[in-house]
Amino acid sequence: MEFERPLAELEDKLASLKRVDLTDQPELAAEIAELEAEIGRIRETLYTGLTPWERVQIARHPERPKTDDYLASLFTDVVELHGDRLFGDDEAMFAGFGTLRGRRVAVLGHRKGKNTHENVRRNFGSSHPEGFRKAERLMHLADRFGLPIVTFLDTAGAYPGIEDEDRGQALAIAGCLAALSRVRVPVVVTAIGEGGSGGALAIGFGDRLIMLENAYYSVISPEMCATILHKDARRANEASACLQLTAADLLRRGLADEVVPEPLGGAHTDPPAVIEAIGDALDAALVSLAGISREALVVARYERLRAIGEFTGE
Amino acid sequence: MEFERPLAELEDKLASLKRVDLTDQPELAAEIAELEAEIGRIRETLYTGLTPWERVQIARHPERPKTDDYLASLFTDVVELHGDRLFGDDEAMFAGFGTLRGRRVAVLGHRKGKNTHENVRRNFGSSHPEGFRKAERLMHLADRFGLPIVTFLDTAGAYPGIEDEDRGQALAIAGCLAALSRVRVPVVVTAIGEGGSGGALAIGFGDRLIMLENAYYSVISPEMCATILHKDARRANEASACLQLTAADLLRRGLADEVVPEPLGGAHTDPPAVIEAIGDALDAALVSLAGISREALVVARYERLRAIGEFTGE
Amino acid sequence: MPISDWFKAREQRRYTAPTTTVSVADVPDGVWVRCEGCKRTLYMGDLERSEMVCPSCGKHHDITAPERLALLIDEGTFAEMDADLSSGDPLDFTSGKAYADQVVAAQERTGLPEAIVTGTASIGGHRVVIGVMDFRFIGASMGSAVGEKIARAFEMAATLRHPLVMVTASGGARMQEGMLSLMQMAKTSAAAARLAEMRVPYVAVLTNPTMGGVTASFATLADVIIAEPGALIGFAGPRLVEQTIRKSLPKGFQTAEALLEHGMIDMVVDRRELASTLALVLGYLQPGDE
Amino acid sequence: MPISDWFKAREQRRYTAPTTTVSVADVPDGVWVRCEGCKRTLYMGDLERSEMVCPSCGKHHDITAPERLALLIDEGTFAEMDADLSSGDPLDFTSGKAYADQVVAAQERTGLPEAIVTGTASIGGHRVVIGVMDFRFIGASMGSAVGEKIARAFEMAATLRHPLVMVTASGGARMQEGMLSLMQMAKTSAAAARLAEMRVPYVAVLTNPTMGGVTASFATLADVIIAEPGALIGFAGPRLVEQTIRKSLPKGFQTAEALLEHGMIDMVVDRRELASTLALVLGYLQPGDE
Ligand SMILES: [Zn+2]
Ligand SMILES: [Zn+2]
């Protein structure tokens, strides 16, 4: 990633130094040690003081763990359900059942691919209306049979295509919002990467919101915000900061309930640890919601949503 | 229509006789009188002893009053609702609200056109999945807001196209059947022309079934039945008789509640009278259902359906 | 043979060589059959051991209702319901082959009283009500008796609050019972809708072929819809569609795989994994609160 | 000018010459305006008398929330709700034009505290709760205050069991309030879903333009959806769609008429018939039993 370049240069230098035979040039040993210390300091500074835009880039890192990775590592007995029963099956949206540490749940998740082939099939994680309608179908199933809902957010947004508009992208998203607000089962949302606008929100609110440290969740993409404000998408850096889209921002505002830390450099540097940490957070959230009655859950979720917003007057 | 040909020939002869100047040939007056009497006798025989296949032909007569005619004559304050909110609006299916003699109801009806242009737009009255999904949407609306449902059947059947199959024709019909069986409002069905198979049934059962004398309602088209049985669609005449598809047949079996008589020759010979008679029957049916509680309606409709069928064993 | 006897004779059971899709080759004792999928000659014993799925090409050959039950349910758990229900001839339908004769012939050929077998059973330890249609019986078309057995199965599931599993195969409504058959679509759909209102799960398994009035009623009203690979599933028959649109049908039209792509079914499951998949799905579908 | 005063001054009211779609011609006193639909020069008085619908080409020019209210509701029946609610600046958003300044400027320009006016009223004798958005106010984008007023309107409809009528126009979520704005989509949808569960009717009137987070939330969750002719309605903005697919958009894309054809809305109604159509529809939508 762009902001990692100074670090990468030092690391390259270190690597070449290490290739030298130290028996010929013993004075290099000290230089190497110093360089290693320097790299450690820079790494620390670089990743602890990440700007929002840098976090957005980490959230988009191609090696970052994806919905599929969480499904594979955290869940047993996974059953994928396909189709909206209306028009198609959208591979950009996972819908199904799974068992998380012994607990049966319904799972929804945006689905980016691991490679170009998968990404083409999955439209790079941007759902068509069929994906949202499949998600809504699963919400109703979960509600009928008392399965808690766990969702994984990782999308740049709903796909803005001609056919998507013609087939009611807006209505499909609205349908999810209405359904998710009324399901009488616990809903736990995890933001694991990108949280782009309405396409993320469609499966992106509930009784708990857990965010990875470098996940972002935003009303608009930084690039489009910059385009609107400055007619210059390259000012996304600045826009990212204005939008308050980081996990820390959401936690501070009470929109997120918990931020799960990532290793230095981002989740992709140690996927197993990050996935396990999300598993712990999910499990704890589900435990905390397990005793609440169906009616109380819906009332509490409604009140949670109703409380969001800052305005003047009363 | 084919079976009317002998009558038509006599009527032609009568017409030519009447063009003759009787002052020259006074002996013709007696001949004319006799011919008129003969025509009356034939007409009486022809139309009172109609075969099922002849009734099917009358039910398909292009001049027969259609859903649009009933809408225009019987209802005031008609509001048409469009669209399935998913993919399209199907003009082969009318959905909306109307007021019948002061009573507000939801209206569904198969819609044939009056001319080629209309028929192309309306696919000759054969619905696509969108038509059934629009109908299902209206059923739910009527249920939510306590509007009795009145339906008009007049379709050769659901359209058997490639795209229709791909977009779930079967599921769309099944959705209507499920919804119509559970709506907590009165449902009165009128069979005014063709009642072709699943496409008719989708809006074709309820708490009362009123049939016009020459309307038919059948599990399969006579032509397709003949093709299956005899590999010869021209034996539809024979198949029509076997299928017991006339209004009288349905009344006898308890599937229809009432048969509204048509004038000699069929409904197209006096549309206003037929439409008014259907209005009377509809009104009476709605009155008879008006006092029943929502729960009792659904239970009674379920029991009505459950009682249908003749088999051995218990 | 009644189902109960059939289960007793389970040790001796043999799959029916399904003449519709597998042609018994002219080798002694019908021991060799030819797969219509890959045209290879297979040893019937091998085909049986892989549940009538061709070990070579994966083609799923049609199987009978008793064979299906034996594959799906936990041994010894099946209790048949409504075994004495069978078709009358309400329309005295004699055009073509007389309907009454067809019924008797089907009963003799299949050993079944009707085109569907229903009962209570367990699948992977999950108590269910189950119905399995048998295409050999007048194309498993749905007349009064079939509709009645289906409606009763839904009602039994409602009463017991056990999930319902329906394994379908059907040419559609049974035209020889006229409007009584068409109304079975409404009757079975009403029973399915009532069960759904009660939050009792319903899983459908669509097998080859499931068409017409069955697809357009209870079969597709399930919470989860599974289909077997290659199964023909649709509303209108392919020949009617072809005649109507006057062009040839696209490859794979109305197959389970096409329906999956068009979003109409949840999954396509190999027969050899069907029982375990059903058990897995049933584990998630516990009846909800009323 | 507060709505109450505005109604008092009704006799003197004039439609705003909507500079976005009608350009005031350089004739004295702005008495003549040019219609952007047909490019003809119209006498403003004629345009006003036809409710800002061009008498020549039928183009529906944008109108303000007070103008809309005056057109739709029975005279003297409007009681405004939550008139003191307006936007804060929770993110201290200063990139581009400072948000706080934008709000003040919009308030001064429109005389409205926020981008939506809500209240109780009658339409053709039917008691309703009504909300009308005003596109002049920062594109009637939905921030916290707009979302709050909408949620309260849904809740008032629930309490009174009176139908809700929402007249929308919006560019979508208000980005200057960040995630607080996005969450208003969920909040308003939840309020709409709750009202629907209570079987209280909800009619939406989508006017030009209704886009983004408003279309994708409460606006399309109505029981009956009406749109004005030619209104632009969609999720993604046309420019974004064009950039994404890299080809030009089909004619009529995202218009009310296209949405009607695609089955997304119930009807397209001429503004001059909107009040009577609403009254007609409301006559059918009586709150159902709970
Ligand atoms: Zn093979
Ligand atoms: Zn004009």
Q: What is the pLDDT of residues D118-168, one digit of tens each?
A: 999 999 999 999 999 999 999 999 999 999 999 999 999 999 999 999 999
By the 8 A CB rule, do B193 and B200 touch? no
Q: Do A83 and C288 touch (CB under 8 A)?
A: no
Q: Report the pLDDT value the prediction gives residue D22, as an integer from 0 to 100.
A: 42
**Sorting pLDDT into bands at 50, 70 and 90, what band is D288?**
confident
Verify that C46 and C166 share a domain, yes or no: no
Percent of chain C with pLDDT over 70: 89
Q: How many domains does chain D have?
A: 2
Put simply, whether A87 touches B (Cβ < 8 Å) is: yes
Q: Do B171 and A87 touch (CB under 8 A)?
A: no
Q: Do B162 and C250 touch (CB under 8 A)?
A: yes
Q: Do A85 and B167 touch (CB under 8 A)?
A: no
- b/e sequence A4-26, b meaning 16+ C-beta within 10 Å: beebeebeeeeeebeeeeeeeee
Q: How many domains does chain A have?
A: 2
User: B-chain residues within 8 Å CB-CB of C86?
Assistant: 311-313
Q: In sequence order, what are the residues at sequence separation of 6 or more whose Cβ sits closer than 8 angstroms to the Cβ of residue B178?
A: C189, C190, C192, C193, C196, C221
Verify that C56 and C18 share a domain, yes or no: yes
Q: Do D289 and B146 touch (CB under 8 A)?
A: yes
- List, for residues B22-44, the tens digit of each pLDDT value: 777 878 888 888 888 888 888 77
Q: How far is A168 from chain B (nearest CA, A)?
A: 6
Verify that B81 and B156 share a domain, yes or no: yes
Q: Whole-angstrom Cα distance, residue D61 to residue D15?
A: 11
User: A-chain residues within 8 Å CB-CB of C260?
Assistant: 82-83, 89
For residue A96, give the nearest of A83, A80, A110, A85 by alpha carbon. A80
By the 8 A CB rule, do D233 and D161 touch? no
| Domain coverage including residue C51 | 1-61
Q: Report the pLDDT value the prediction gives residue C277, as an integer from 0 to 100.
A: 98
Q: Report the pLDDT value the prediction gives residue D25, as an integer from 0 to 100.
A: 41
Q: Report the pLDDT value the prediction gives residue B49, as an integer from 0 to 100.
A: 83
Residue A311 maps to a domain: no
Verify that D139 and D266 share a domain, yes or no: yes
Q: In sequence order, what are the residues at sequence separation of 6 or more whose Cβ sits closer than 8 angstroms to the Cβ of residue B121?
A: B91, B113
Q: Whole-angstrom Cα distance, residue D64 to residue D66?
A: 6
**D252 Cα: distance to centroid of ligand 2 (angstroms):** 17
Percent of chain A with pLDDT over 70: 100
pLDDT higher than threshold 50 for residue C1 = no
Domain end among D16, D38, D61: D61
- List, for residues C33-87, the tens digit of each pLDDT value: 899 899 999 988 889 899 999 999 999 999 999 999 999 999 999 999 999 999 9
Q: What tokens were used for D230?
A: 């030619």
DSSP string, chain A: -GGGHHHHHHHHHHHHHHHS-TTT-TTHHHHHHHHHHHHHHHHHHHHHT--HHHHHHHHT-TTS--HHHHHHHHEEEEEE----SSS---TTEEEEEEEETTEEEEEEEE---SSHHHHHHTGGG---HHHHHHHHHHHHHHHHHT--EEEEEEES-S---HHHHHTTHHHHHHHHHHHHHH-SS-EEEEEEEEEBHHHHHTT--SSEEEEETT-B-BSS-HHHHHHHHHS-GGGHHHHHHHHT-BHHHHHHTTS-SEEE---TT-GGGSHHHHHHHHHHHHHHHHHHHTTS-HHHHHHHHHHHHHT---EE--
Verify that C150 and C18 share a domain, yes or no: no
Verify that C138 and C271 share a domain, yes or no: yes
Residue D214 maps to a domain: yes
Of A230 and B88, more confident:
B88
Give me the phi and psi of B187, to 5 degrees please: -125, 120
**Which H helix or E strand runs over C170?**
strand C164-170
Mean pLDDT of B232-245: 94
pLDDT higher than threshold 50 for residue C19 = no
Q: What tokens were used for A199?
A: 């396409």
Q: How far is A87 from chain B (nearest CA, A)?
A: 5
Verify that D35 and D178 share a domain, yes or no: no
Q: How far is B248 from chain C (nearest CA, A)?
A: 13
- List, for residues A45-88, the tens digit of each pLDDT value: 777 789 999 999 999 999 999 999 999 999 999 999 999 999 99
- b/e sequence C262-276, b meaning 16+ C-beta within 10 Å: bbbbbbbbebeebbe
- List, for residues B5-22, the tens digit of each pLDDT value: 888 888 888 888 888 877
Verify that A122 and A219 share a domain, yes or no: yes
CATH number at residue D93: 3.90.226.10
Domain end among D17, D42, D61: D61
Residue B288 maps to a domain: yes
pTM over 0.90: yes
**What is the C-alpha R_g of chain C?**
18
Verify that C207 and C266 share a domain, yes or no: yes
Q: Report the pLDDT value the prediction gives residue D16, as an integer from 0 to 100.
A: 58
User: A-chain residues within 8 Å CB-CB of C289?
Assistant: 146, 294
Put simply, whether A287 touches D (Cβ < 8 Å) is: no
When the pLDDT of each residue in chain A is averaged and rounded to a whole number, the result is 94
Put simply, whether A171 touches B (Cβ < 8 Å) is: yes
User: A-chain residues within 8 Å CB-CB of B85?
Assistant: 168, 171
How many alpha carbons lie under 13 Å from residue C52 in its C-beta half-sphere?
Answer: 20
Domain end among C61, C83, C107: C61
**What is the C-alpha R_g of chain A?**
22
Q: Report the pLDDT value the prediction gives residue D17, as an integer from 0 to 100.
A: 52
Residue A314 maps to a domain: no
Verify that A180 and A82 share a domain, yes or no: yes
Q: Report the pLDDT value the prediction gives residue C207, as an integer from 0 to 100.
A: 98
Residue D290 maps to a domain: no
Q: What is the ipTM of this complex?
A: 0.94
Verify that B190 and B262 share a domain, yes or no: yes
**Which H helix or E strand runs over D240?**
helix D238-245
Verify that C82 and C208 share a domain, yes or no: yes
Please report the number of interchain residue pairs, chain A to chain D, with beta-carbon separation below 8 angstroms.
Answer: 200
Ligand nearest to the CA of D57: 2
**Sorting pLDDT into bands at 50, 70 and 90, what band is B72?**
very high
The residue of B79, B100, B292, B298 whose CB has the most chain D CBs within 10 angstroms, and thus the best one to mutate to test that interface, is B79
Verify that A20 and A93 share a domain, yes or no: no
Ligand nearest to the CA of D60: 2
pLDDT higher than threshold 60 for residue D18 = no
User: A-chain residues within 8 Å CB-CB of C269?
Assistant: none
Q: How far is D90 from chain A (nearest CA, A)?
A: 6
Of C163 and B234, more confident:
C163
D252: alpha, beta or left, given left = phi > 0 and alpha = psi -120 to 50? left
| Domain coverage including residue B16 | 2-49
Q: Whole-angstrom Cα distance, residue B30 to residue B36?
A: 10
For CA atoms A262, A267, A270, A273, the dihedral sign is positive
Nearest residue on chain A to C259, alpha-carbon basis? A88
Verify that D183 and D237 share a domain, yes or no: yes
When the pLDDT of each residue in chain D is averaged and rounded to a whole number, the result is 91
Residue C185 maps to a domain: yes
Mean pLDDT of D95-101: 91
Q: Report the pLDDT value the prediction gives residue D23, as an integer from 0 to 100.
A: 41
**D256 Cα: distance to centroid of ligand 2 (angstroms):** 18
- b/e sequence C82-106, b meaning 16+ C-beta within 10 Å: bbebbbbbbbebebbeebeebbeeb
Verify that C86 and C52 share a domain, yes or no: no
Mean pLDDT of B200-217: 98
- List, for residues A242-271, the tens digit of each pLDDT value: 999 999 999 999 999 999 999 999 999 999
Nearest residue on chain D to A247, alpha-carbon basis? D179
User: A-chain residues within 8 Å CB-CB of D174?
Assistant: 219
Verify that A60 and A43 share a domain, yes or no: no
Interchain touch C–D (≥3 Cβ pairs closer than 8 Å)? no
Q: In sequence order, what are the residues at sequence separation of 6 or more whose Cβ sits closer than 8 angstroms to the Cβ of residue B186?
A: B148, B149, B206, B207, B208, B285, B286, B289, B290, B292, B297
Q: What tokens were used for A271?
A: 């996927």
CATH number at residue B157: 3.90.226.10
**Which H helix or E strand runs over B149?**
strand B149-155
User: B-chain residues within 8 Å CB-CB of C96?
Assistant: 228-230
pLDDT higher than threshold 90 for residue D289 = no
Highest averaged pLDDT of the listed ranges A2-6, B121-125, C12-16? B121-125
Of C244 and A272, more confident:
A272
Task: List the single residue in C86, C175, C194 with the smallest CB-CB distance to B302.
Answer: C194
Verify that C30 and C90 share a domain, yes or no: no
**Sorting pLDDT into bands at 50, 70 and 90, what band is B171?**
very high
Q: How far is A131 from chain C (nearest CA, A)?
A: 10
Verify that D14 and D91 share a domain, yes or no: no
Residue A10 maps to a domain: yes
By the 8 A CB rule, do A186 and A289 touch? yes
Residue B151 maps to a domain: yes
Q: Report the pLDDT value the prediction gives residue D26, as an integer from 0 to 100.
A: 42
Verify that A144 and A14 share a domain, yes or no: no
Of A165 and B29, more confident:
A165
Q: Report the pLDDT value the prediction gives residue C13, as an integer from 0 to 100.
A: 45
**Sorting pLDDT into bands at 50, 70 and 90, what band is C12?**
very low
For CA atoms A134, C269, C78, C74, the dihedral sign is negative
C-beta neighbour count of D109 within 10 angstroms: 11
Q: Report the pLDDT value the prediction gives residue C23, as an integer from 0 to 100.
A: 41
Mean pLDDT of C159-187: 98
C-beta neighbour count of D31 within 10 angstroms: 12
